[in-house]
Chains A and B, each alone.
Chain A
Amino acid sequence: DAGVTQSPTHLIKTRGQQVTLRCSPISGHKSVSWYQQVLGQGPQFIFQYYEKEERGRGNFPDRFSARQFPNYSSELNVNALLLGDSALYLCASSRDRLANYGYTFGSGTRLTVV
């Protein structure tokens, strides 16, 4: 089985631009969570989606938004990019909302804002 896939793997954007990151969960996993990881720190929770509805939101500004599609894939959108948005963005899928079987993470998208 394919693991969690994220695209693109790397991208460079200019301040003020908008970016869309994509995530395909493991087949059968209905929950997708997004994390931001700045170099040298642990992942910071951004959103959780389960059954196409937002189930949790971290302390991120409204420039960050996400959605989940009927096939359980997900997109993370970030508007008006700032230099501080440069980070590794991780997607994690789980079978259920409580992650009773653990999370499976993708390899991430490395976003650089210049």
Chain B
Amino acid sequence: DAKTTQPNSMESNEEEPVHLPCNHSTISGTDYIHWYRQLPSQGPEYVIHGLTSNVNNRMASLAIAEDRKSSTLILHRATLRDAAVYYCILARAGKSTFGDGTTLTVKP
């Protein structure tokens, strides 16, 4: 299985940047790195994904290590609405495996 490892929880202050790390040492060459977030009683929401190069979109930035064995999701200015469980997954044909994610708490 393509396994990812994330810290169980992180805290941030509102309007400060947040860096959420993910380790994926078993990544293979064709695996895309995806990030999703989930609010209680909702399905996961797509945040960002990438293969090798760093990626930016309106929600976040994704920094991928040169060896691709780790990545970091960057929320540039955390808001209270960013409080959620964040999942890093390796998207692989036929199977994409979620870990237990990082619970992000944002303090006002």
Contacts and interface: CB of A to CB of B under 8 A. Distances in A.
B95 A102 contact: no
Contact of B93 (A42, A56, A58): A56
Given A41-B100, A105-B44, A108-B43, A98 B95 contact: no
A43 B30 CA distance: 22
A74 B67 CA distance: 37
A42 B43 contact: no
B45 interface: yes
Contacts of B95: 45, 48, 56, 58
Contact of B43 (A48, A58, A107): A107
Nearest to A41: B100
Contacts, number: 65
Contacts of A102: 34, 46, 49
B13 interface: no
A112 to B, nearest CB: 14
Contacts of B9: none
Interface string A58-91: 1000000000000000000000000000001010
Contact of A100 (B32, B43, B45, B94): B32
B97 A45 contact: yes
Contacts of A44: 98
28 contacts: A4-B43, A42-B98, A42-B99, A43-B87, A45-B95, A45-B97, A48-B95, A55-B93, A55-B94, A56-B93, A56-B95, A58-B95, A88-B41, A90-B43, A90-B44, A99-B32, A99-B96, A102-B49, A103-B34, A103-B36, A103-B96, A105-B36, A105-B43, A105-B44, A105-B45, A106-B43, A107-B43, A108-B42
Given A42-B85, A99-B49, A105-B43, 5 more contacts: A56-B93, A102-B34, A103-B36, A103-B91, A108-B42
Interface of A: 4, 33, 35, 41-45, 48, 55-56, 58, 88, 90, 92, 97-100, 102-108
